[in-house]
Each structure stands twice: as structure tokens, then as C-alpha cells.
Amino acid sequence: MPERAASCRDTTRVYRSASGPVHALRGVDVDVVAGQVTAIVGPSGSGKSTLLRILAGLDRPTEGTVHVAGTALAGLSRRGRRALRRRHIGFVFARPADNLVPYLTAAEHLRLAAELRGVDVGDEPARLLRALGLDHRAGHRPVELSGGEQQRLALAAAVIGRPALVLADEPTAELDRASAAALVAGLHDLAGLGVALAVATHDPVVVESADRVVLIHDGEVVS
């Protein structure tokens, strides 16, 4: 049976607003499995990004349980959640520039990510750059990379040190079709290393290639 890297059970998130409570998630059950790409799909405002933030430990559910890498997030302090994120969770934002440090080269990004994760990764940075078609860009800074190359570098930084879970929020939203296709291929290459990837997306290319698809509507999993 495939290993669950992360799971939500009966997870609800309610936000308070001036007009009353807003249910971002309603009793959601989701598994994210190691070695697979899970696409989280739904219209804008359906709860996709809220689910990613809860899986990342950046937000707390109002009700329900969340486990990542075998750890229950509910029992963790803020410091504990930060430590869990650093070691076991990678995150990729929609805008390439939000994922990268302008003055670092591609190779330096991976070395810094490994240092922050607190692991000795040996020659993994070079292998990841090669696997994602970026080995010839190792000495280049973000401004010298295309948007697609920046996102592939962000994925490499997110997966360095083999975290249990990598979350990506609309990673192809600002890419052209060819760059998006290259990024999707990169997602599956990284899943092949045993990492669990959960991708919130509207992109049919991502959805069609995913190993599993979770459809969310009005905060509920409908399929």
C-alpha cells in the first residue's frame, strides 16, 4: 500500500468576517501519497489554497486532524511547526520571483535550501539540476533564467534533502505552454524520487498528468 506522506481527516476551516462565518473547508478528507503527484482542483475560492496552507502548517484547522510525515500538527507549538516545515515540507508559490533570492545562483539556492533543511545532501544539488534540465544554469541568477527555469529551480530547492511533502500553489499559472509542460515533467521526475507532491491548479495539463486528482467545490471534496 502506498505510503501516506500527509493526510487530513474531517478538516474544517472557518474564518470570521464582518458578515459572519466563512467556511473555507468543510469536513475534508485528503491523502497525499509518496511517489505521486496529487492535483487539487476546483474553481477560485473553492478552498484549494487554504488546504495547502493547512497541510504546510501555515494555518490551523478549526476542526479535524492533520498529519505530515507521521506527526500530528495539532500538538505542535509554533516553533514545532516551523521545525517540521523546515525538515519535511517544501513549498512553491505561483509567482517564480516569490520563490527565489535575486542575488543567489541556482547552485547557491540549492546549497542554502539544504543548509536550512539541516541535512548533508552530498552531490544531490548537481543531480537535481541535471534532472530538471538546469545543469547548464548552475551559475546563473534568477534574472538570467526564464520563468519556467525559475519554477524548476524553485521545485529543486523545495525537494532538496527529500522532504516528505512538497506543496505547489498554481506553479504553472505564469508560464507559457512549453514552460508549463517542462515543469509538469519535472514534477513527475521528482515524484519518482519518492517525494509526495500536492499541486493546487487550474491547469488541465497538470490535471491530466496527475496520479491522483482531488476535486474541491465550496470547501468540500466532491470527488
- Compute the distance between CA of residue 98 and CA of residue 80 in angstroms, rounded to an integer: 24
User: pLDDT at position 2, please?
Assistant: 65
* pLDDT tens profile 127-180: 889 988 999 999 999 999 999 999 999 999 999 988 999 999 999 988 988 988
What is the three-class DSSP state of 77?
coil
pLDDT tens-digit profile, the chain (223 residues): 468 899 999 999 999 888 888 899 999 999 999 999 999 999 988 999 999 999 999 999 999 999 999 999 998 999 999 999 999 999 999 888 899 999 999 999 999 999 989 888 788 889 889 988 999 999 999 999 999 999 999 999 999 988 999 999 999 988 988 988 998 998 998 898 889 999 999 999 999 999 999 999 999 999 8
Q: Are 197 and 37 in contact (CB under 8 A)?
A: yes
User: Beta strands of 35-143 (E only): which ranges?
Assistant: 37-41, 63-68, 71-72, 89-92
Architecture of domain 33-57+77-211: 3-Layer(aba) Sandwich (3.40)
Q: Is 16 exposed, middle or buried (0-12, 13-18, 19+ CB in 10 A)?
A: exposed
**Domain range summary for the chain, segments of one domain joined by +:** 33-57+77-211
| Confidence (pTM) | 0.92
